[in-house]
Structure 1
Amino acid sequence: MVSEREKIALILESAELGPFESLIGQLTSAANEQRSHAESLFILGCDLHPDALALKLVAVLDASPALDFRAMSVVHLRILLTHRDSRGSFWLRLSPASQTSLKSLLLVVLQQEPDRSTAKKVADTISAFDLLPDSTWPDLLPFLFHAVAASNVRPCLQEYALLIIAQIAYVLVGDASFVVSHLPTLSTLLLAALSHPSSSNVRVAALSVAINLVTSLKSAFVENILFVELGYTMMRTFVDFVDSGDEDYLQEVLKLFIDIAVAWPQFFSFRSYDGVARVMMHIVEAAQHEEDTQDLSGEFINTLAEARAGAGPGADAEA
């Protein structure tokens, strides 16, 4: 009788993806016994063959024709990469060669994955590398900047690159070398992306980067001459979405502005940005907007009012 150790070794050593796809498919099986057996094998693979398991996951993500398997692979890969247990980080148990291969393959997949939802999961996984111990990726930022700036890049790749930058912005602005060397370039890239001629997804992703810069830098954002034009462009982009009639995109933008109201409400006290609250009130009162859109605008107004009331008199001047 073949032991579980032998089974997982055979699955991971197979040149075909089929046996491993079958395993990850069974991880979500409705049959308890089948799911438990698959979980046992998967955990054993993590323990005994971390390199082979991680590389097999990214191989399925890269080459499987089945969307479900690709989507499940990237979810499991992100969970593994950020997993810590009594033995420490799974990431640190991978060999340097496996770590390098994973990074390279994830960038390849990001450029070629046709399903937007799965590609965004890949972007989330790439973003997680900035949270991993002893993880350096010097090629990542040049790749992302090129993906945003290049004229021959598909808008979807621009969007994914911006989403990654948005998620790691908090880490980037804490790096003095990044602030000195790359912040001017990022500001220029965001100005162009916020005015993208054909993709609302790119514009929303660029806005998410800009807003994360606001909530990370706070007063340093409004005091930095680099960001004067960027701030105006953020406001113009907001108004454009209000006027567009596309409620789905407008709701995404409203959620981003709520993030600022929660994290640093003083932003909206600066003269350049204080008109946002008036626009929000107009949305609440305008009959043409959907109820969800009006609710989000109301949430923004309430969040801002509560923050200002809690801060007390003179808070804006001290911000």
Structure 2
Amino acid sequence: MLQVASHPVPHFSMMDRVSYHASPVASPPSLQLPRNLARPPFAEVERSAVTVIAPELADAPFEYIRRYLAGQAPQMIAAVNMLSIPSSLPKSRLPASLDAAVRPTSYPSSSLVFPTHVLAVSSSKSSPSSPSTPTAASFAAQAQMPSSATVPLYPTHSLVLAAHCTLLPQLPTSKPSSKATALNLPVVPLTVPDAATFPHLHAFLHTKRADTLLVTLLPSLQSSLPAAHSPSSSGSSRSYVSQFSSEKLLRLAQALASTAYSQNGPQGALQCLMAHAKVVNGLWKNTCALGIFDTELWGVMDLAWEVILAALTRIVEIQRR
């Protein structure tokens, strides 16, 4: 079993938290959220993690590699859609690899970028004494997995992960298949702090679509959020999140609070917004655990967090009237 050492981010002090006390009528417990999402110290990926997969990129700047991979996202997605891979498998019976049949397509085979591995993702156990502190991602030992549950599978591209994740151990070697009708892909059991939000993070690393990620975090605001004209990256001259002024963030927060209140009532609105906060928090934990320092990713998380906190404040103000 491969594991990475734990690299927790700093704990939040009570001065760094925002508290929301519900009205005395319903008297649910107080809500405490960190004012900001803490960032671990920056670290760059190891050059060897990339060159072992793609020796031809040994001298390429990392940002060039990431932009190049983002440009290949359509070919990666098309290739994944051509494969017959189960969406999940029993935890107790994960194979070392699986054969994925390749469906016929009109795409030229030379233009497709097939996945190299399949990730079997589950949640790691978090410490109840420090729920806001991310734990490091690790490969899970199959023998320790409960036999009653299934684990979702995600076809992935090892170069994409290597170019972004500073704390992910090297994936096992994936050998190209000599068959045109099937691929043999290693199955890698992986534990992350929050398996539910892993597909959002995994998709972003491949597509670099900040607009799509923000819609995922704030789905009720989809019609109010601008779309990106092209896949964004941390090397872009103008980032997606830079177009959100303070006034626009306030309007989004008011819209989020209004929607939550009208659909769920005063107490239900708080629960709804806390559910949004939980999703962002889970994404943040996974980002820290995998050691990802993409500027646009962090910008989207910060933006969504700011909107949610402001919406919560709005709901509390309504309750106190």
Q: Same fold (TM over 0.5)?
A: no
Pick the structure with more strand per residue: 2
Structure of higher CA gyration radius:
1
Q: Does 1 or 2 have the higher relative contact order (CA < 8 Å, sep 6+)?
A: 2
Q: TM-score, normalised by structure 1?
A: 0.24
Greater helix share, 1 or 2?
A: 1
Q: Which TM-score applies when normalising by structure 2? A: 0.24
